[in-house]
A and B are shown apart, each in its own frame.
Chain A
Amino acid sequence: MKFNPDDIMMLAGTIWESVLSLPIETDEPGSVGNHPRSMAACIQISGAWNGAILLDCPVEFARLAASVMFSTEPANAALPDLQDAIAELVNMIGGNIKGLLPETCFLSLPAVVEGGDYSARVPGSTPVGRVAFVCQGHRVSIVILEKTREETAAA
Protein backbone atom coordinates (compact mmCIF):
# COMPACT_ATOMS: atom_id res chain seq x y z
CA MET A 1 0.00 0.00 0.00
CA LYS A 2 1.48 3.32 -1.09
CA PHE A 3 0.59 6.70 0.36
CA ASN A 4 0.49 9.73 -1.88
CA PRO A 5 2.85 12.44 -0.54
CA ASP A 6 0.24 15.08 -1.38
CA ASP A 7 -2.28 13.30 0.83
CA ILE A 8 0.21 13.08 3.70
CA MET A 9 1.07 16.75 3.30
CA MET A 10 -2.60 17.71 3.32
CA LEU A 11 -3.14 15.63 6.43
CA ALA A 12 -0.10 17.15 8.16
CA GLY A 13 -1.11 20.64 7.10
CA THR A 14 -4.56 20.19 8.59
CA ILE A 15 -3.18 18.88 11.89
CA TRP A 16 -0.52 21.58 12.13
CA GLU A 17 -3.09 24.26 11.39
CA SER A 18 -5.71 22.96 13.80
CA VAL A 19 -3.40 22.05 16.68
CA LEU A 20 -0.57 24.54 16.35
CA SER A 21 -2.13 27.23 14.15
CA LEU A 22 1.09 27.12 12.15
CA PRO A 23 1.47 26.75 8.39
CA ILE A 24 3.84 24.27 6.78
CA GLU A 25 5.75 24.42 3.53
CA THR A 26 6.75 21.37 1.52
CA ASP A 27 10.45 20.50 1.49
CA GLU A 28 12.48 17.77 -0.17
CA PRO A 29 12.29 14.44 1.72
CA GLY A 30 15.40 13.59 3.70
CA SER A 31 16.80 13.86 7.17
CA VAL A 32 15.88 16.67 9.54
CA GLY A 33 19.32 18.11 8.99
CA ASN A 34 22.31 18.76 11.14
CA HIS A 35 20.70 19.74 14.42
CA PRO A 36 22.52 19.40 17.72
CA ARG A 37 19.58 17.52 19.22
CA SER A 38 16.49 16.04 17.65
CA MET A 39 13.41 14.07 18.64
CA ALA A 40 11.67 11.20 16.94
CA ALA A 41 8.19 9.92 17.73
CA CYS A 42 7.11 6.55 16.48
CA ILE A 43 3.61 5.11 16.54
CA GLN A 44 2.97 1.56 15.47
CA ILE A 45 -0.07 0.26 13.64
CA SER A 46 -0.96 -3.40 13.85
CA GLY A 47 -3.84 -5.58 12.77
CA ALA A 48 -5.14 -5.75 9.22
CA TRP A 49 -2.20 -3.56 8.20
CA ASN A 50 1.13 -3.50 9.97
CA GLY A 51 3.56 -0.67 9.99
CA ALA A 52 4.71 2.46 11.72
CA ILE A 53 4.75 6.20 11.42
CA LEU A 54 7.94 8.04 12.27
CA LEU A 55 7.97 11.77 12.96
CA ASP A 56 11.41 13.34 13.10
CA CYS A 57 12.08 16.93 14.12
CA PRO A 58 14.61 19.17 15.82
CA VAL A 59 14.17 19.64 19.56
CA GLU A 60 13.54 23.33 18.84
CA PHE A 61 10.43 22.43 16.87
CA ALA A 62 9.18 20.16 19.67
CA ARG A 63 9.73 23.06 22.06
CA LEU A 64 7.75 25.38 19.80
CA ALA A 65 4.92 22.84 19.49
CA ALA A 66 4.84 22.33 23.26
CA SER A 67 4.74 26.06 23.89
CA VAL A 68 1.73 26.42 21.59
CA MET A 69 -0.08 23.35 22.93
CA PHE A 70 0.46 24.17 26.57
CA SER A 71 0.32 27.95 26.28
CA THR A 72 3.74 28.56 27.73
CA GLU A 73 6.93 30.27 26.67
CA PRO A 74 9.19 27.99 24.59
CA ALA A 75 11.98 28.43 27.14
CA ASN A 76 9.68 27.17 29.90
CA ALA A 77 8.67 23.96 28.11
CA ALA A 78 10.24 21.00 29.89
CA LEU A 79 11.27 17.72 28.26
CA PRO A 80 8.01 15.91 29.25
CA ASP A 81 6.08 18.75 27.57
CA LEU A 82 8.13 18.31 24.40
CA GLN A 83 7.51 14.57 24.59
CA ASP A 84 3.76 15.08 25.00
CA ALA A 85 3.67 17.54 22.13
CA ILE A 86 5.29 15.41 19.47
CA ALA A 87 3.63 12.26 20.81
CA GLU A 88 0.29 14.00 20.35
CA LEU A 89 1.21 15.07 16.82
CA VAL A 90 2.29 11.58 15.75
CA ASN A 91 -0.79 10.15 17.47
CA MET A 92 -3.04 12.44 15.43
CA ILE A 93 -1.20 11.54 12.23
CA GLY A 94 -1.53 7.86 13.13
CA GLY A 95 -5.23 8.22 13.86
CA ASN A 96 -5.84 9.82 10.49
CA ILE A 97 -3.71 7.27 8.63
CA LYS A 98 -5.53 4.48 10.43
CA GLY A 99 -8.78 5.80 8.99
CA LEU A 100 -7.41 5.09 5.51
CA LEU A 101 -6.46 1.50 6.33
CA PRO A 102 -8.52 -1.69 6.18
CA GLU A 103 -10.29 -2.62 9.41
CA THR A 104 -9.36 -3.58 12.07
CA CYS A 105 -6.14 -1.81 12.96
CA PHE A 106 -4.80 -0.81 16.35
CA LEU A 107 -2.59 2.14 17.22
CA SER A 108 0.12 1.71 19.83
CA LEU A 109 0.99 4.45 22.27
CA PRO A 110 3.68 6.67 20.77
CA ALA A 111 7.29 6.09 21.75
CA VAL A 112 9.49 9.16 21.78
CA VAL A 113 13.27 9.33 21.49
CA GLU A 114 15.38 12.38 22.25
CA GLY A 115 19.06 12.57 21.52
CA GLY A 116 21.99 14.16 19.84
CA ASP A 117 23.61 11.35 17.95
CA TYR A 118 21.32 8.51 17.07
CA SER A 119 19.65 6.81 14.15
CA ALA A 120 16.19 5.28 14.23
CA ARG A 121 15.30 2.30 12.04
CA VAL A 122 12.27 0.05 11.68
CA PRO A 123 13.77 -3.30 10.60
CA GLY A 124 11.70 -5.47 8.30
CA SER A 125 9.75 -2.53 6.95
CA THR A 126 9.87 -0.38 3.87
CA PRO A 127 8.84 3.27 3.43
CA VAL A 128 5.50 3.59 1.65
CA GLY A 129 5.08 7.32 2.16
CA ARG A 130 7.49 10.08 3.01
CA VAL A 131 7.22 13.85 3.26
CA ALA A 132 9.32 16.64 4.67
CA PHE A 133 8.20 20.16 5.40
CA VAL A 134 9.33 23.33 7.07
CA CYS A 135 7.42 24.89 9.95
CA GLN A 136 8.67 28.19 11.35
CA GLY A 137 12.12 27.42 9.97
CA HIS A 138 12.24 23.92 11.49
CA ARG A 139 12.51 20.93 9.20
CA VAL A 140 10.14 18.09 10.02
CA SER A 141 9.82 14.72 8.31
CA ILE A 142 7.12 12.08 8.38
CA VAL A 143 7.76 8.56 7.14
CA ILE A 144 5.12 5.85 6.86
CA LEU A 145 6.63 2.37 6.96
CA GLU A 146 4.91 -0.88 6.08
CA LYS A 147 6.01 -4.13 7.62
CA THR A 148 7.32 -6.34 4.86
CA ARG A 149 8.16 -9.54 6.67
CA GLU A 150 6.94 -11.53 9.61
CA GLU A 151 9.24 -11.65 12.60
CA THR A 152 9.58 -14.79 14.67
CA ALA A 153 7.67 -14.47 17.91
CA ALA A 154 8.67 -16.92 20.60
CA ALA A 155 5.63 -18.56 22.09
Chain B
Amino acid sequence: MDHSYIMPFIKSVQNVFATMLQMQVKVGKPFIKTAGSPAYDISGIIGMAGDVEGAVVLNMPTATAEGVVARLTGAPMACTHADFPDAVGELVNMVSGGAKAQFPGKTVNISCPSVVIGHDHHVLGCKDVSSLIIPCTTDCGEFCLEISIRQTDGAAARKPAALATA
Protein backbone atom coordinates (compact mmCIF):
# COMPACT_ATOMS: atom_id res chain seq x y z
CA MET B 1 0.00 0.00 0.00
CA ASP B 2 1.21 3.49 -0.87
CA HIS B 3 2.34 5.07 2.40
CA SER B 4 1.15 8.48 1.23
CA TYR B 5 -2.38 7.22 1.86
CA ILE B 6 -1.81 6.71 5.58
CA MET B 7 -1.32 10.28 6.76
CA PRO B 8 -4.66 11.58 5.41
CA PHE B 9 -6.46 9.00 7.55
CA ILE B 10 -4.49 9.86 10.66
CA LYS B 11 -5.15 13.56 10.17
CA SER B 12 -8.80 12.93 9.41
CA VAL B 13 -9.52 10.73 12.43
CA GLN B 14 -7.86 13.28 14.69
CA ASN B 15 -9.75 16.13 13.04
CA VAL B 16 -13.14 14.40 13.18
CA PHE B 17 -12.74 13.39 16.81
CA ALA B 18 -11.51 16.87 17.78
CA THR B 19 -14.22 18.80 15.98
CA MET B 20 -17.20 16.48 16.33
CA LEU B 21 -16.47 14.80 19.65
CA GLN B 22 -14.14 17.27 21.35
CA MET B 23 -11.80 14.38 21.93
CA GLN B 24 -8.11 13.90 21.31
CA VAL B 25 -6.90 10.80 19.49
CA LYS B 26 -3.48 9.43 20.29
CA VAL B 27 -2.22 7.45 17.32
CA GLY B 28 0.10 4.49 17.82
CA LYS B 29 2.52 2.95 15.38
CA PRO B 30 0.69 1.49 12.36
CA PHE B 31 1.23 -2.18 11.60
CA ILE B 32 0.23 -4.72 8.98
CA LYS B 33 -2.81 -6.77 9.93
CA THR B 34 -2.17 -10.43 10.60
CA ALA B 35 -4.30 -13.34 11.79
CA GLY B 36 -3.53 -12.46 15.40
CA SER B 37 -4.34 -8.75 15.13
CA PRO B 38 -6.99 -7.39 17.50
CA ALA B 39 -10.59 -7.59 16.36
CA TYR B 40 -13.26 -5.68 18.25
CA ASP B 41 -17.03 -5.96 18.43
CA ILE B 42 -18.13 -3.01 16.30
CA SER B 43 -16.94 -2.42 12.73
CA GLY B 44 -17.89 0.48 10.51
CA ILE B 45 -16.80 -0.33 6.95
CA ILE B 46 -16.74 2.05 4.01
CA GLY B 47 -15.69 1.36 0.46
CA MET B 48 -13.58 3.64 -1.68
CA ALA B 49 -13.73 3.49 -5.44
CA GLY B 50 -12.38 5.44 -8.39
CA ASP B 51 -8.70 6.32 -8.63
CA VAL B 52 -8.25 4.71 -5.22
CA GLU B 53 -10.13 1.56 -4.29
CA GLY B 54 -10.47 -0.46 -1.17
CA ALA B 55 -12.03 -0.29 2.25
CA VAL B 56 -11.65 1.58 5.49
CA VAL B 57 -12.74 -0.05 8.73
CA LEU B 58 -13.31 1.66 12.05
CA ASN B 59 -13.05 -1.21 14.52
CA MET B 60 -14.04 -0.55 18.14
CA PRO B 61 -14.73 -2.44 21.35
CA THR B 62 -18.36 -2.01 22.44
CA ALA B 63 -17.47 0.23 25.39
CA THR B 64 -15.40 2.57 23.21
CA ALA B 65 -18.06 2.67 20.51
CA GLU B 66 -20.84 3.42 22.99
CA GLY B 67 -18.75 6.19 24.56
CA VAL B 68 -17.93 7.73 21.20
CA VAL B 69 -21.51 7.50 19.96
CA ALA B 70 -22.75 9.11 23.18
CA ARG B 71 -20.41 12.05 22.51
CA LEU B 72 -21.55 12.24 18.89
CA THR B 73 -25.28 12.12 19.61
CA GLY B 74 -25.22 13.88 22.95
CA ALA B 75 -27.01 11.05 24.74
CA PRO B 76 -26.13 7.56 25.93
CA MET B 77 -26.92 4.91 23.35
CA ALA B 78 -26.47 1.15 23.75
CA CYS B 79 -25.08 -0.81 20.84
CA THR B 80 -28.45 -2.60 20.62
CA HIS B 81 -30.27 0.66 19.84
CA ALA B 82 -31.71 0.84 16.33
CA ASP B 83 -29.87 4.10 15.61
CA PHE B 84 -26.50 2.87 16.83
CA PRO B 85 -25.32 1.53 13.43
CA ASP B 86 -26.27 4.87 11.85
CA ALA B 87 -24.01 6.72 14.28
CA VAL B 88 -21.09 4.34 13.68
CA GLY B 89 -21.66 4.60 9.95
CA GLU B 90 -21.69 8.37 10.17
CA LEU B 91 -18.42 8.33 12.06
CA VAL B 92 -16.56 6.15 9.55
CA ASN B 93 -18.09 8.22 6.76
CA MET B 94 -16.73 11.43 8.23
CA VAL B 95 -13.27 9.94 8.74
CA SER B 96 -13.18 8.57 5.17
CA GLY B 97 -14.59 11.78 3.74
CA GLY B 98 -11.95 13.81 5.52
CA ALA B 99 -9.19 11.55 4.22
CA LYS B 100 -10.59 11.59 0.70
CA ALA B 101 -10.36 15.38 0.67
CA GLN B 102 -6.61 15.01 1.20
CA PHE B 103 -6.03 12.95 -1.97
CA PRO B 104 -5.12 15.74 -4.39
CA GLY B 105 -5.87 15.17 -8.04
CA LYS B 106 -7.73 11.96 -7.33
CA THR B 107 -11.29 11.11 -8.22
CA VAL B 108 -12.42 9.06 -5.25
CA ASN B 109 -15.95 8.06 -4.40
CA ILE B 110 -16.80 6.87 -0.95
CA SER B 111 -19.78 4.62 -0.70
CA CYS B 112 -22.42 4.16 1.95
CA PRO B 113 -21.01 2.60 5.10
CA SER B 114 -21.86 -0.84 6.34
CA VAL B 115 -21.79 -1.65 10.02
CA VAL B 116 -21.15 -5.02 11.60
CA ILE B 117 -22.03 -5.59 15.25
CA GLY B 118 -21.19 -8.77 17.11
CA HIS B 119 -18.63 -10.08 19.52
CA ASP B 120 -17.30 -12.77 17.24
CA HIS B 121 -16.64 -11.32 13.83
CA HIS B 122 -13.62 -10.54 11.70
CA VAL B 123 -13.47 -8.13 8.78
CA LEU B 124 -11.20 -9.89 6.31
CA GLY B 125 -10.16 -6.90 4.21
CA CYS B 126 -9.61 -6.73 0.49
CA LYS B 127 -8.11 -9.44 -1.65
CA ASP B 128 -4.52 -8.78 -2.74
CA VAL B 129 -4.28 -5.64 -0.64
CA SER B 130 -2.54 -5.69 2.71
CA SER B 131 -4.48 -4.11 5.54
CA LEU B 132 -2.77 -1.55 7.70
CA ILE B 133 -3.97 -1.08 11.25
CA ILE B 134 -3.62 2.31 12.89
CA PRO B 135 -4.09 1.85 16.65
CA CYS B 136 -5.81 4.78 18.33
CA THR B 137 -6.51 5.71 21.94
CA THR B 138 -9.07 8.18 23.23
CA ASP B 139 -10.68 9.09 26.55
CA CYS B 140 -13.41 6.58 25.63
CA GLY B 141 -10.93 3.76 25.11
CA GLU B 142 -8.91 2.26 22.30
CA PHE B 143 -9.95 1.47 18.75
CA CYS B 144 -8.34 0.67 15.40
CA LEU B 145 -8.57 2.30 12.02
CA GLU B 146 -7.94 -0.32 9.38
CA ILE B 147 -7.00 0.78 5.87
CA SER B 148 -6.95 -1.56 2.92
CA ILE B 149 -6.69 0.54 -0.22
CA ARG B 150 -4.73 0.67 -3.44
CA GLN B 151 -4.37 2.96 -6.41
CA THR B 152 -6.18 1.74 -9.50
CA ASP B 153 -4.45 1.24 -12.85
CA GLY B 154 -6.01 4.32 -14.44
CA ALA B 155 -4.88 6.54 -11.61
CA ALA B 156 -1.38 5.03 -11.63
CA ALA B 157 -1.05 5.87 -15.32
CA ARG B 158 -1.88 9.51 -14.64
CA LYS B 159 0.44 9.83 -11.61
CA PRO B 160 -0.47 13.23 -10.18
CA ALA B 161 2.68 15.04 -9.09
CA ALA B 162 1.38 15.73 -5.59
CA LEU B 163 1.09 12.06 -4.74
CA ALA B 164 3.98 10.83 -6.86
CA THR B 165 6.34 12.89 -4.75
CA ALA B 166 4.61 12.24 -1.41
Q: Bound complex: CA of A118 vs CA of B55, how far in Å? A: 19
Partner of B126, one of A111, A122, A145, A155: A111
Report the minimal beta-carbon distance from B17 to chain A, rounded to whole angstroms. 10
Q: Taking chain A's interface residues, is the majority helix, strand, or loop, or is none over half, making it mixed?
A: strand
A153 touches B98 (CB 8 A): yes
Chain B residue contacts of A115, Cβ below 8 A? 116, 118, 120-122
For chain B, give the interface size range.
35 or more
Per-residue CB contact flags for chain B residues 87-115 toward chain A (1 = under 8 Å, else 0) read: 01110011111101100000001111111
Interface: B10 (CB within 8 A):
no
Chain A residue contacts of B45, Cβ below 8 A? 42, 111
Query: Which B residues have a C-beta under 8 Å from some C-beta of A?
Result: 12, 15-16, 19-20, 43, 45-50, 53-55, 57, 85-86, 88-90, 93-98, 100-101, 109-127, 129, 148
For chain A, give the interface size range.
35 or more
Chain A residue contacts of B100, Cβ below 8 A? 153
Interface: A51 (CB within 8 A):
yes
Report the minimal beta-carbon distance from B160 to chain A, rounded to whole angstroms. 18
Q: Bound complex: CA of A107 vs CA of B48, how far in Å? A: 8
Closest to A146 in B: B112
A113 touches B112 (CB 8 A): no
Q: Bound complex: CA of A33 vs CA of B93, how far in Å? A: 30
Q: Bound complex: CA of A123 vs CA of B84, how far in Å? A: 9
Chain B residue contacts of A16, Cβ below 8 A? none
Q: Bound complex: CA of A43 vs CA of B53, how far in Å? A: 11
A151 touches B127 (CB 8 A): no
Chain A residue contacts of B95, Cβ below 8 A? 154
Per the 8 Å Cβ criterion, residues 69-115 of A in contact with B are 79-80, 83-84, 87, 106-115
Report the minimal beta-carbon distance from A41 to chain B, rounded to whole angstroms. 9
A43 touches B47 (CB 8 A): yes
**7 intermolecular pairs with C-beta atoms under 8 Å apart:** A106-B50, A109-B127, A111-B125, A111-B126, A122-B112, A123-B88, A152-B94
Q: Bound complex: CA of A44 vs CA of B149, how far in Å? A: 14
Asked, given contacts A46-B109, A124-B86, A153-B96, whether A108 binds B55 with beta carbons under 8 Å apart, the answer is yes
A110 touches B126 (CB 8 A): yes
Chain A residue contacts of B121, Cβ below 8 A? 113-118
